[in-house]
Structure 1
Amino acid sequence: MSWSREELDEMIRRWVEENEQCEALGDWKPLAHFYTEDATYGWNYGPQQEFMAVGRDEIRDIALGQEMFGLEGWTYPYQEFVVDERSGSVIGFWKQVNEGRRADGRPYSPEGIGGSWFRYAGDYQWSWQRDFFDFGNVTALFVEMISNDALSPGMRKRMERAASGRALPGWYPVGEGPVPLW
Structure 2
Amino acid sequence: MTAFPRAELDAMVARWLEANRECEAVGDWRPLADLYTEDATYGWNIGPDQDFMAVGRDEIRDIALGSEMGGLDGWTYPYQSILVDEKEGMVVGFWKQIADAKRADGSPYEVAGIGGSWFRYAGDGRWSWQRDWFDLGNVTAVFIEMLKAGVLSDGMKRRLDRAAAGGPIPGYYPRGEAPVPIW
Between the aligned partners of 2:39 and 2:155, the Cα distance in structure 1 is 30
The aligned counterpart of 1:120 is 121
Give the ranges of 4+ consecutive aligned residues of structure 1 lying more than 6 Å apart after TM superposition. none
Deviations 1:43-84 (A, max 9, x none): 001111110001111111111111111111111111110110
Query: Are residues 1:98 and 2:107 paired?
Result: no
How far apart, in 2, do the equivalents of 1:56 and 1:145 lie?
A: 32
Q: Provide the rounded CA distance (Å) in 1 between the counterparts of 2:171 and 2:153.
A: 24
> Match of 1:142?
143
Can you give the 5+ residue segments of structure 2 that lack an aligned partner in the other structure? none
Q: How does 1:16-35 map to 2 (within 5 A)?
A: 16-35=17-36
Counterpart-to-counterpart distance in 2, 1:155 and 1:169:
16
RMSD, matched Cα: 0.8
Please state whether the residue corresponding to 1:43 is helix, strand or coil.
Answer: strand
What is residue 172 of structure 1 aligned with on the other side?
Answer: 173
Matches within 5 A, 1:1-182: 1-182=2-183
Q: Secondary structure at the match of 1:68?
A: coil
Alignment partners' CA distance in 2, 1:63 and 1:167: 15
SS in 2 for 1:131: strand
Tell me which amino acid in the other structure corresponds to 1:5.
R
Find the residue that maps to 2:109 and give its secondary structure.
coil
> How far did 1:23 drift?
0.8
- CA distance in 1 between counterparts of 2:137 and 2:156 reads 18
Distance 1:60 1:153 in 2: 21
User: SS where residue 22 of structure 1 aligns?
Assistant: helix
**AA in 2 matched with 1:100:** A
Cα distance between partner residues in 2 of 1:66 and 1:134: 20
Letter in 2 for 1:32: A
**Other structure's SS at 2:51 match:** strand
1:45 alignment partner AA:
I
Quote the offset at 1:33 in angstroms: 1.0
Unaligned runs of 5+ in 1: none
1:178, 1:68 → 2: CA distance? 21
Question: How many residues align structurally?
Answer: 182
TM-score, normalised on structure 1? 0.98
Deviations 1:25-49 (A, max 9, x none): 1111111110011100000011111
| TM-score after normalising by structure 2 | 0.97
